[in-house]
Amino acid sequence: MRIWSLVEATEAEGPGLRFALWTQGCSLRCPGCCNPHTWNPSGGRTTTVAELLARVDAARARRPRLEGVSLLGGEPFEQDDALADLAARVRARGLTVMAYSGYRLEELRARGSRLLAHCDLLVDGRYVASLRTTQRRFVGSTNQRLHFLSAAYTPDDPRFHAPNTAELRLDADGVLRVVGFPFASILAAFGPGARGPRESGATSGSGPTAGAAKTRSPGC
């Protein structure tokens, strides 16, 4: 599988404290996408389900209140099989899985997605710049929908009704990272998102030494 980045714990990419994984590769190319650096299916780096599970386990050991894993993009459902295996094993650990996709739920079903069966929450639909919103939590444009695919969450949970948020994280390696919704003020300060941060906790990498607009898909 190919990924662009990951953050071991954030509260800006789904309910509760979550391990966030940005996949690499998206063929949908929504105009106005804030993560165009994740489009190239040959970009990012390769990894394995086993490596990612080890990172999730380590993150949970450090932060026992870790609630789940969020899959962002890029387009997670274009690496369906590998992420289905990852999601199934994440849920077997008692964690939840949330996915963000540019495909609509109906399209994912028509594609025969295996991953879908292992998701508790799905934000679906292309990002439409003219419909951009900051007022719907975890949603980037008003055409997108939040689906509750299991009993793990319910629509009346207040965590789904607050406006969008962003986090500025000063990590132990001295790198400022921005996670969450790409508010205009953040884009003005850090750029359009092309300067993605190194992975949080990574032992190697060539990321920037200053902050970067690190945003989710499709919440551009």
- Could you say whether residue 182 binds ligand SF4 (CB under 6 A)? no
Number of residues that bind ligand SF4 (CB under 6 A): 16
75 to 114: interface string for ligand SF4, x by CB under 6 A: x--------------------------x------------
25 to 64: interface string for ligand SF4, x by CB under 6 A: -x-xxx--x-x--x--------------------------
Give, in degrees to the nearest 5, the angle at Cα 216 between 99 and 150: 20
Choosing from 44, 68, 197, 218, the residue that interacts with ligand SF4 (CB under 6 A) is: 218
State which residue, 83 or 152, has the beta carbon closest to ligand SF4: 83
CB of 164 to ligand SF4, least distance (A): 15
Instruction: Report the DSSP beta bridge partners of residue 214.
Output: 179
CB of 125 to ligand SF4, least distance (A): 9
From 69-77, 80-88, 152-160, 198-206, give the range in contact with ligand SF4 by CB under 6 A.
Answer: 69-77
Cis? peptide before 182, omega within 30° of 0: no
State which residue, 30 or 69, has the beta carbon closest to ligand SF4: 30
- Could you say whether residue 187 binds ligand SF4 (CB under 6 A)? no
State which residue, 102 or 211, has the beta carbon closest to ligand SF4: 102
State which residue, 88 or 146, has the beta carbon closest to ligand SF4: 146
Among candidates 139, 140, 3, which has minimal Cα distance to 73? Answer: 3
CB of 153 to ligand SF4, least distance (A): 22
Provide the phi-psi class of 203: left if phi over 0, else alpha when psi is between -120 and 50, else beta. Answer: alpha
CB of 73 to ligand SF4, least distance (A): 5
Interface residues with ligand SF4 (CB under 6 A) are 26, 28-30, 33, 35, 38, 73-75, 102, 126-127, 217-218, 220
